């Protein structure tokens, strides 16, 4: 049933999300805080859940012959898939950025592997707070939205500026694959954190949703 629920999500609930998946194109701009391009997706996921609330989508899903855990799992798969697509498309745009934009990004991090590793950390924090939170109180979305977006943006903003403030961290801010040996571990660690946090958020969301009386 999870496959059918994922199909329902992609066909009925994600029209807004598809539009926001194009925002990594902003990585083609010169001298710009590129984390903003990746952070737009957080707002899209929050808006998607808000629109689902107005359509009573959650109540409709609960009335289907499916387990509550399957509903949570399907939504988690869809959101995680959107985040992964955003990073993959971002990697393509980062490659194009190196080809067409001259010079380093003086505004903040260059779009490199370390950048995308910390973008995974941003998505991990968002998932940990937002996915688990919206299934704890499905009709009170303000707190998980503010926590998910606010905390993740603050953390990633700090990570964005550290290479500019701490000279020793400049090695992680190479252009393209310059100094890739420093960038790759950050990417791998960020990916691992994202996978673990998303799995934990899904587990906690299932536990929270089982206690909700709709």
* Per-residue pLDDT reduced to its tens digit, 89-136: 999 998 998 888 766 766 677 888 989 999 999 999 999 999 988 888
pLDDT in tens, the chain (214 residues): 777 888 877 877 677 778 888 889 888 888 777 888 899 999 989 888 888 877 777 777 777 788 888 889 999 999 999 999 999 999 999 899 888 876 676 667 788 898 999 999 999 999 999 998 888 877 788 888 888 899 998 888 888 777 777 777 777 777 777 777 888 999 999 999 999 999 999 999 999 888 876 6
Whole-model pTM: value is: 0.90
First-to-last C-alpha distance (Å) of the chain: 21
Contacts of 109 (CB under 8 A, 6+ apart): 34, 35, 115, 118, 159, 160, 163, 173
Phi, psi dihedrals of residue 130, rounded to the nearest 5°: -80, -50
List, as one string, the DSSP characters of the chain: -HHHHHHHIIIII-HHHHHHTTGGGGGGSSS--THHHHHHHHHHHHHHHHHHHHTTHHHHHHHSSS-HHHHHHHHHHHHHHHHHHHHHHHHHHHHHHHHHS-S--TTS--SSHHHHHHHHHHHHHHHHHHHHHHTTSTT--HHHHHHHHHHHHHHHHHHHHHHHH-GGGGGGG-STTTTHHHHHHHHHHHHHHHHHHHHHHHHHHHHHHHT---
Domain that holds residue 112: 2-210
For the record, the structure tokens of 92 come out as: 């393509």
Could you give the number of structural domains in the chain? 1
């Amino acid at each position: 049933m999870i496959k059918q629920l994922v199909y329902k999500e992609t066909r009925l609930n994600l029209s807004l999300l598809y539009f926001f998946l194009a925002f990594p194109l902003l990585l083609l701009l010169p001298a710009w805080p590129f984390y903003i391009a990746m952070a737009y997706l957080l707002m899209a996921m929050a808006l998607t859940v808000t629109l689902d609330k107005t359509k009573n989508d959650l109540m409709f899903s609960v009335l289907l012959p499916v387990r509550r855990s399957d509903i949570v799992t399907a939504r988690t798969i869809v959101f995680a898939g959107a985040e992964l697509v955003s990073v993959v498309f971002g990697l393509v745009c980062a490659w194009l950025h190196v080809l067409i934009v001259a010079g380093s990004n003086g505004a903040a991090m260059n779009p490199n592997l370390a950048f995308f590793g910390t973008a995974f950390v941003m998505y991990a924090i968002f998932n940990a707070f937002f996915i688990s939170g919206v299934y704890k109180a499905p009709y009170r979305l303000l707190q998980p939205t503010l926590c998910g977006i606010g905390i993740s943006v603050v953390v990633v903003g700090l990570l964005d500026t550290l290479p500019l403030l701490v000279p020793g961290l400049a090695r992680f801010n190479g252009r393209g694959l310059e100094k890739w040996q420093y960038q790759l571990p950050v990417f791998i660690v960020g990916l691992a954190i994202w996978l673990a946090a998303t799995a934990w958020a899904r587990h906690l969301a299932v536990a929270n949703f089982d206690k909700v009386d709709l």
